[in-house]
Amino acid sequence: MARASKAYIAGIYEHPTRKAIDKTIPQLHAEVAIGALKDAGLTKDDVDGFFCDGSAPGLGGMSLAEYMGLNITHTDTTETGGSSYVVHVGHAVEAIAAGRCNVALVTLAGRPRAEGVKSLGARSAEGMPELGFEHPYGPAIPNMYGMAAKRHMYEYGTTSEQLAWIKVAASHHAQHNELAVLRDVVTVEDVVNSPMIADPLHRLDCCVISDGGGALVIVSPEIAKTLGDRCVKILGHGEAIKHLNGGRFDLTHTGAVTSGPRAFADANLTPADIDYASIYDSFTITVLETIEDLGFCAKGEGGKFVSDGNLISGVGKLPFNTDGGGLCNNHPSNRGGMTKVIEAVRQLRHEAHPKVQVPDCTLALAHGTGGQISTRMGSATVILGRNDA
């Protein structure tokens, strides 16, 4: 018996550019919106809900709705960093179920590479409440993830070679993606011999910086029935905020330890049911801790779990990030949650590259991480299923 769903993903689009030297951010938003609506078989006149985050220019949803000519009855500008778009999937489901909209458009766009941003997560610190407590010590994003990796190694014996397998898996997938920033297949030795960036993380443990963006179109069940069988069911959703909690903080856990169980409970499924996983991969340690926290293996067993190609499609038992992920393909505007949902939809439609398509893929998970795993972060997990699931 097919599972019920309150809403469906009807359209997806990933912008092909990785360096947008000739486009503005509003242009990128408009282009990904057009692409996703075309994929869904809809037009901008069908859109009555619009979702974006705090990186959107101007007055966010207001400015972009005017720019794109949208007449909307509902908008949401929730900001949880790179997980925002996974959060927006859940919020769109809620809005549709409440009758606030029927066709929700979610867009992401940015151009940090064209603007010369050299490091992940560069942003203005003005007004942040943690400013006076943390910035005198000069924190940098890679350093903070390196600290989490070092702690995981201390607690559980995780090795650099085990982390390297995550990059190896991503590279095996990216070789088939003509748009990927990094298409060369790498080995464990290549990763551990690449320059050290923030001990124990090497250059190849880090994601790419890229421009572009992506979009989703989420529709009510009634509209989905009119659009054919390419619509993907949204079966479960969970979100969580994890922060320093006054110093009572564990570097080896992410917010997925909360958002994951909520999503699985919402979908009435377990990790063992999942055929494919899109896992946010700002750094290799992000993937390893998230896989543990989502329940794909026990805490501390992530190093063993990801080794020996266990994340490679057609080889391992948990195919992940078959587009190459943020580690190799695309991390648009330093916010990778959008592309995680897009590739999960491709897998469920059986539209991924034939070399990485998971056979009989029926149930998929997409997870986003915002902020950083060593301080404050927003986590969001969504579970998706084929139209006949």
Do 102 and 175 lie in one domain? The reply is no
Written as six digits, the tokens of 369 are 């991480």
Do 25 and 74 lie in one domain? The reply is yes
Question: For the residues 180-188, what does the mean pLDDT come to?
Answer: 97
pLDDT above 70 (res 15): yes
Share of the chain above pLDDT 90, in %: 85
Do 281 and 203 lie in one domain? The reply is yes
130, part of any domain: no
Kindly report the average pLDDT of the chain as a whole number: 94
**SS3 (DSSP) at 198:** strand
Do 269 and 318 lie in one domain? The reply is yes
24, part of any domain: yes
User: What pLDDT is attached to residue 60?
Assistant: 86
The pLDDT tens digits of the residues spanning 58-76 come to 888 899 999 999 999 999 9
**φ, ψ at 277 (rounded to 5°):** -135, 130
User: CB burial class (10 A; 0-12, 13-18, 19+) of residue 2?
Assistant: exposed
User: What pLDDT is attached to residue 75?
Assistant: 97
User: What pLDDT is attached to residue 256?
Assistant: 97
The pLDDT tens digits of the residues spanning 344-365 come to 999 999 999 999 999 999 999 9
Do 28 and 152 lie in one domain? The reply is no
Question: What's the one-letter identity of residue 272?
Answer: A
User: What pLDDT is attached to residue 2?
Assistant: 74
User: What pLDDT is attached to residue 121?
Assistant: 54
The pLDDT tens digits of the residues spanning 278-315 come to 999 999 999 999 999 999 999 999 999 999 999 999 99
Contacts of 212 (CB under 8 A, 6+ apart): 14, 15, 16, 17, 18, 20, 28, 109, 110, 111, 330, 332, 333
Strand partners, 234: 384
Instruction: Name the residue range of residue 354's domain.
Output: 141-208+236-385
Do 105 and 147 lie in one domain? The reply is no
CATH number at 151 reads 3.40.47.10
Do 38 and 88 lie in one domain? The reply is yes
123, part of any domain: no
Do 27 and 146 lie in one domain? The reply is no
Predicted confidence band of residue 138 (pLDDT cuts 50, 70, 90)? confident
Let me know: does 49 contact 74? Beta carbons within 8 Å: yes
Predicted confidence band of residue 380 (pLDDT cuts 50, 70, 90)? very high
User: What pLDDT is attached to residue 139?
Assistant: 82
Q: How far apart are the first and last CA of the chain?
A: 8
314, part of any domain: yes
User: What pLDDT is attached to residue 48?
Assistant: 97
User: What pLDDT is attached to residue 212?
Assistant: 94
Do 105 and 186 lie in one domain? The reply is no
Do 257 and 163 lie in one domain? The reply is yes
Domain count, the chain: 2
Predicted confidence band of residue 125 (pLDDT cuts 50, 70, 90)? low
Give DSSP secondary structure letters for 217-260. Answer: EEE-HHHHTTS-TT-EEEEEEEEEEE--GGG---TT--THHHHH
pLDDT above 70 (res 123): no
Is the omega angle on the peptide bond into residue 200 within 30 degrees of 0, that is, cis? Answer: yes
Integer angstrom CA distances of residue 56 from 45, 110, 347, 376: 21, 8, 28, 21
The pLDDT tens digits of the residues spanning 196-246 come to 999 999 999 999 999 999 999 999 999 999 999 999 999 999 999 999 888
User: What pLDDT is attached to residue 100?
Assistant: 97
12, part of any domain: yes
Phi and psi based region of residue 233 (left: phi greater than 0; alpha: psi -120 to 50; beta: remaining): beta
pLDDT above 80 (res 182): yes
**φ, ψ at 62 (rounded to 5°):** -65, -50
49, part of any domain: yes
Question: For the residues 156-168, what does the mean pLDDT come to?
Answer: 98
User: What pLDDT is attached to residue 43?
Assistant: 97
pLDDT above 70 (res 126): no
131, part of any domain: no
Do 178 and 230 lie in one domain? The reply is no
Question: For the residues 269-283, what does the mean pLDDT come to?
Answer: 98
User: What pLDDT is attached to residue 389?
Assistant: 79
Let me know: does 10 contact 41? Beta carbons within 8 Å: yes
User: What pLDDT is attached to residue 264?
Assistant: 98
Do 173 and 316 lie in one domain? The reply is yes
Integer Cα distance of 266 and 120 in angstroms: 33
**SS3 (DSSP) at 311:** coil
Closest CA to 340 of 312, 358, 367: 367
Closest CA to 204 of 145, 307, 284: 284
DSSP strand E in the chain: where?
8-14, 49-51, 74-76, 103-110, 196-198, 201-202, 212-219, 232-242, 276-279, 363-371, 377-385
Residue whose entry in the numeric block shows the structure tokens 């992530």: 302
Question: What's the one-letter identity of residue 38?
Answer: K
109, part of any domain: yes
